[in-house]
């Protein structure tokens, strides 16, 4: 991984952390988060894969909790780190909760 990509991921992680703290618990898609980060926090071109890596970094460091809803519950499934990156891109949005 090159240094420019690492910088984009860490900048994205800080932006996501700021967004989640400001807005509280919310449902997102990778595309929506990428758009918000791109528009308000970064002059770099941010890729969806940068957002996924930033979310995984925030989760690994205990700064956010990542969950998915089902038909009845807001936090039905928790991200555990063993899921593939498609967890962030499948048809259901995911929840980002500040810890």
- Domain limits, the chain: 3-98
Residue 25 has pLDDT above 90, yes or no: no
pLDDT tier at 61 (50, 70, 90 boundaries)? Answer: very high
pLDDT band at 57 (very low <50, low <70, confident <90, very high): very high
Name the pLDDT band for 88 (thresholds 50, 70, 90): confident
- How is the chain classified by DSSP, letter by letter? --HHHHHHHHHHHHHHHHHHHHH-SEEE-HHHHHHHHHHHT-SSPPPHHHHHHHHHHHHHTTSEEEEE--SS-TT-EE--S-S-GGGGTSSS-EEEEE-
**pLDDT exceeds 90 at position 56:** yes
pLDDT score at 47: 87
CA angle, 76 then 32 then 81, to 5°: 45
């Amino acid at each position: 991984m090159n240094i420019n990509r690492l910088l984009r991921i860490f900048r994205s992680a800080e932006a996501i952390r700021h967004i989640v703290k400001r807005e509280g618990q919310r449902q997102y898609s990778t595309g929506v988060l990428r758009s918000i980060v791109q528009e308000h926090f970064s002059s770099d071109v941010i890729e969806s894969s940068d957002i996924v890596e930033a979310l995984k970094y925030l989760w690994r460091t205990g700064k956010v909790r990542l969950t998915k809803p089902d038909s009845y519950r807001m936090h039905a499934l928790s991200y555990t780190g063993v899921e593939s990156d498609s967890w962030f891109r499948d048809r259901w949005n995911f929840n980002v909760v500040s810890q």
